[in-house]
Structure 1
Amino acid sequence: MPRTLTENFVEQFRLCKVTGNETVGIIAELGQKDEYVAAAVAAARQLGAGALVLHASSLSNPNLPPYQADGREVAPLLAAAGECDFVVDVTVGGLIHSDVRTRITGNGKRMLFVAEPNDVLERLAGDATLRSEVEAGGDKLRSGSTLHVTNAAGMDLTADISGTDLPITHQWGYVDEPGRWDHWPSGFVACFPNDRTAEGRIVLQPGDALIPWQRYVQDTVTIEVEKGFITSISGKGTDAHVLEDYFAAWNDGEVFALSHMGWGLLERARWSAFDVYDARSLYGQELRSTAGNFMWSTGSNRFADRETPAHLDVPMRGCTVEIDGVAVVRDGKLVSQ
């Protein structure tokens, strides 16, 4: 029998080690996702914790400009969140790439983003096994020097991942340590290669995914990359034109930058999700997490002091991902090592 949204929040809060002497802060947007707010409050209360709802008028970024951030609500929001032990982000777009997230976790607070439909949250919930697999992937990235990605369509992309301070994102879907952020559900590992080091060619094929547009690629698209930035987009179908139009709309060279890169590790995640569900009801985390997908992104990179509202995540099927010549993904399948 499927669990209710509140029951799933209770189980997730237990994974996040919420205790009765803590206060849970819920960051939300006025009139949006009220059922998630109610479930988070109810779950906190069931575990004996306090609950504080922090409603802002709007914190989400649009998919197209014009956009100008209004920072007037940020300072009081951060002040209130700073009094909480565990912060739940149920905003529409998420605070993933914002200064708000960085400052909350930088003060040692645990922070969890929640966006997917209830049955996805339950079906893809993380566990200790997934965590160990994600951490092992992070160890491989941390010990490597060069990330190399190819596919049968002609993709050939490299990036410098050397250095002991390489920023790595480990996502297994829950937060049980101070200063940790995660997204429920999740199952992937990614790094932010040294800025402006990505070089080569990305070739998208039909069936790859474009997020947050929540749709599959329909045509072959060739993307040339030099010094970490997209320099050209070509293809005979609609997708190349749409991508060019999207990037051009921002009138901002930063939107062409490559950001994080990594691969999915969650065997329960299904690539078919965009067709099984109403795609616009999804945040796209299932596609990001599917085992063996290679995902790269554009735009925002807080480690390179680059902030832009324009941000695409592009999970791809059928790629081979190598670290210093050793495959971690081969032809879209995880490599056991």
Structure 2
Amino acid sequence: MRSIRKILSLCELQPGDILAIYTDTGKSPALVEGFFGAALALELEPLMLTIPAPHRMLQEPSPPALLAMKGAKMVADLSSEQWLYTNGLNEILDSGGRVLQVLSTEHTLVKMTPTEALVQRAQRVAKMLTKAKEIRITSDNGTDVVANVEGRNGWGQDGIARVPGEWDSTPSSIFACAPIEGSVEGTLVVEPGDFVWTTPKEILVSEQMTIKLKKGRAAEIQGRADARMTGSWLASFGDPNSYVVAHTGFGGDPRASIDQAQEVESIEGCINFALGANIFRGLGGKNKAKSHLDIMLMKQSMFLDDECVVKDGKIVHPELAIGPIQ
């Protein structure tokens, strides 16, 4: 697949580099074969690691699989369940390995293949988030959330992994920062047309939901059916840390759309707001939890130290403008 070859080429792997392909029986065989074939075409040394499909999110890799991945130049993570916020992932990154997560479908890989323009946008946003001391989210319908992010690293996800110790997810364009624990306060109003990424079935919101945030946690989830489903999903883990605010930020790819779950968080100007685990080196978060819930807000605004970067779901900061993506 041409798009996979381009992605691996953008990661600047060299002939002879070992690419560990970590997958399971729940993943599309065509996608797995595509990465194996692209690795051979680029004269890499592919190493296949296949496990039974995970029965839950954030499942730690087994010790033998972890050892093999730590010995590779890069890991193509084709697991059917994310394990981003795990100790095993951080071990790989700390050893100098790179990990490129692939949650998307073949269609999305072709549609949203990473570009240098999006890589540069991600780098600019990461610097802005790192510099910021406070993030504020507002909307005309009642959202007003304030988070202290002073001293936290901004994360610019661009769909490639080029340097030792780097994690990314392809294809994606997601920018985020983990607030200081206990600092988030306010009211988050989730509107019809917004998106809540529960698993195995996500929620395309059809009625207003209000989340009251106190001392860095979701203290109340108010509303009707969508609110009850979201609350039940969080409660199913039996973990109080599932309610802790994990990160917030926004998406940056104009090609992304809401009809594919793996694309939603990358929608240009879509604000992400997550609850649960965030123990990932790129974010610097400290909350270990059994779950991670992403909420995507389509028409809200974000301010970094009172400077507007997203207005009503549109990126408006002049430093973040990009031309048409080819």
Common fold: TM-score over 0.5: yes
What RMSD, in angstroms, separates the aligned Cα atoms of the two structures? 1.7
State whether residues 182 and 217 of structure 2, in contact with CA within 8 Å, keep that contact through their aligned partners in structure 1. Answer: yes
CA distance in 2, matches of 1:243, 1:41: 38
Deviation readout 1:79-124 (Å, 9 max, x if unpaired)? 1112211110000012211222211122111211112121211111
Query: Are positions 1:186 and 2:167 aligned together?
Result: no
Counterpart residue number, 1:291? 268
Structure 2: gaps (5+ residues)? 319-326
Match in the other structure for 1:14: 9
Q: Separation in 1 of the partners of 2:312 and 2:170? A: 27
Change (3 A) 1:60 1:85: farther
1:160 aligned to 2:141?
no
Change (3 A) 1:18 1:160: same
**1-side partners of 2:273 and 2:109: how far apart?**
23
Name the SS for the 1:140 alignment partner: helix
What is the TM-score when the length of structure 2 is the normalising length?
0.91
**CA–CA separation in structure 1 for the residues paired with 2:189 and 2:217:** 15
Whichever residue aligns with residue 135 of structure 2, its letter is L
Identity %: 25
Matched with 1:38 is 33
| Cα distance change, pair 195–125 in 1 and its aligned pair in 2 (3 A) | same
Q: Could you say which residue in structure 1 is the equivalent of 2:310?
A: 329
**Count of matched residue positions in the alignment of Structure 1 and Structure 2:** 312
Matches within 5 A, 1:55-204: 55-59=50-54, 61=56, 74-163=62-151, 166-204=152-190
Alignment of 1:292-331 (within 5 A): 292-302=269-279, 303-331=284-312
Cα distance in 2 between the residues matched to 1:37 and 1:189: 27
Q: 1:227 aligns with which of 215, 237, 247?
A: 215
1:158 deviates by 0.4
Quote the Cα distance in structure 1 between the aligned partners of 2:26 and 2:229: 32
TM-score by length of 1: 0.88
Moved more, 143-152 or 74-83: 74-83
Give the CA deviation at 1:153. Answer: 0.8
The answer (yes or no) to whether the contact 2:26–2:80 under 8 Å persists in 1 is: no
For the 8 Å contact 2:53–2:80, the answer to whether it is kept is: no
Q: What SS class does the counterpart of residue 62 from structure 2 fall into?
A: helix
The question of 1:253 aligning with 2:266 is answered no
Supply the AA of the counterpart residue of 1:192. A
Measure, in 1, the Cα distance between the counterparts of 2:230 and 2:298. Answer: 19
